Amino acid sequence: MLTVVAFIVALGLLIAVHEYGHYRVAVACRVKVLRFSIGFGTALYRWKPRKQRPGQDTEFVIGAFPLGGYVKMLDEREGDVAPAERHRAFNTQPLKYRAAIVAAGPIANLLLAILLYAAVNWMGVEEPQPVLGSPVAGSIAAQAGLHGGERVQAAAFEGDALQPVRSFEDVRWLLTRGALDSRDVRLELARDNGAGGGEVLLPLSHLDARDADAQMLRKVGIVSPWSPPVLAEVRPGAAQRAGLQAGDVVRRIGTQAIVDGPQLFETIRAQIQDGKAVTAVWEVERNGRPLTVTVTPELVTEKGATFPRVNAAVGGPAAKVTVRYGFVEGLAKGAARTWETSALTLRMMGRMVIGQASLKNLSGPLTIADYAGKSASMGLTQYLLFLALISVSLGVLNLLPLPVLDGGHLMYYLWEAVTGRSISDAWMERLQRGGVAVLLVMMSIALFNDVARLFG
């Protein structure tokens, strides 16, 4: 139920803001707006506000099909217009007014994203401290000499000035941008005792452009923040039989030193050889005292995969820090995050078009609904961050130069500005059909990815 509500609220808000952008600028340009609709199809509810600007008699509608909306304006191409109102028709407006009205929708979404990111910055959010978890074996981070437990004090792209790092999310975001932009990243480290740890260069420019997928951060090697390698809960099974208890801190399994929770999990999963579970000596710490136990995992099979399990919840929570900014800095960082996310979105779309990134990165309504529910269950700040990300995506998508999208209409206006004449009706019809075909293909791929991701 939460997923459905969170999805409907997200759609309603983002569509309403987008269409309000069109509506507000149209009214400011003195274009007559006939209808403002959130959703398509049968009208579930309609009304006309008593107080409207002189000359406006806009009908507001909530449609049955919520995946979109529209603002219908007086237009000679869509019906008869009285001579006395011809000056208020959309198609008779100067080019700059038409362009402003069309661009206002996507711009409204981007402005909303800035405000949402800024609101999170002002409210403050609990994020993991910038302490690195153990790197993935063979990854760029592992080859650079990282072991896990390093605290990041500052970071930047190679060639840029180092900037202070306040949380692990700052590190993750910089690494994501660096991987997608093929830019090397410098990390200034400190050990847990505060001593200087020097600098580490992560050569992300060596990543192939086709590595830009859901497993990208595993190839970089920094997947999660450091968390203690503790047994949070011990249930009946291998761990309990070996004498392990909740609260035990695992220091070593066999010859493998254990740095953090994720590494502990992966090491347990690796205790299999020739189809049999491997017995290993565990060195643990209980109440500050060292202890040695012998553990033989149990083999279980799930979804066709066989792996060892000790029936214990492994890994404790990462240490948190509250990240909060003042009004001006929070707003500035909200604008910067919106710009960076927009640029990354465009680059990813470009790579998918030329085949340098997988089309599996496309997500549709099912994935969006799933993330809406998950983010809402994590609290207000996470839901606001989700809304900001989707608002950026909606704004950028609508600015693409595809007919039927706002960007396609802006492309027509660019042609008109350069040549001094509008596109012919025949060409307009061809381009519209082509645009619809492209969008249907994109939606089909996104829906296929949704089904494979959620039910595969």
pLDDT for 336 beyond 50: yes
Q: How confident is the model at residue 210 (pLDDT cuts 50, 70, 90)?
A: low
pLDDT for 235 beyond 70: yes
126 is catalytic: no
Query: Taking a C-beta distance cutoff of 8 angstroms, is the pair 282, 209 a contact?
Result: no
What pLDDT is stored for residue 193 in this prediction? 46
Query: What average pLDDT does this structure show over 237-266?
Result: 92
Query: 285: which strand partners?
Result: 249, 290
In 3D space, the residue among 27, 13, 38 whose CA is nearest the CA of residue 100 turns out to be: 27
Query: Taking a C-beta distance cutoff of 8 angstroms, is the pair 133, 154 a contact?
Result: no
Q: Is 281 helix (H, G, I), strand (E, B) or coil?
A: strand
Query: Taking a C-beta distance cutoff of 8 angstroms, is the pair 19, 37 a contact?
Result: yes
Query: Bigger pLDDT: 267 or 353?
Result: 267
pLDDT for 355 beyond 80: no
> What is the dihedral angle through the alpha carbons of 128, 130, 132, 133, rounded to the nearest 10 degrees?
-10
pLDDT for 195 beyond 60: no
Identify the top-confidence range among 11-25, 183-197, 297-311.
Answer: 11-25
pLDDT for 421 beyond 60: yes
Average pLDDT for the chain: 89
pLDDT for 314 beyond 60: yes
Q: How confident is the model at residue 194 (pLDDT cuts 50, 70, 90)?
A: very low
What pLDDT is stored for residue 214 in this prediction? 55
Distance of CA 184 to the CA centre of its chain: 22
Out of 19, 127, 150, 188, which one is annotated catalytic? 19
Query: Taking a C-beta distance cutoff of 8 angstroms, is the pair 259, 192 a contact?
Result: no
Identify the top-confidence range among 102-106, 239-243, 360-364.
Answer: 102-106
Q: How confident is the model at residue 456 (pLDDT cuts 50, 70, 90)?
A: low
Q: What are phi and psi of 327, to 5 degrees?
A: -60, -55
In 3D space, the residue among 220, 205, 209, 216 whose CA is nearest the CA of residue 352 turns out to be: 209
Q: Please give the model's pTM, rounded to 2 decimal places.
A: 0.86
Question: Number of H helices and number of E strands within the chain?
Answer: 12, 18
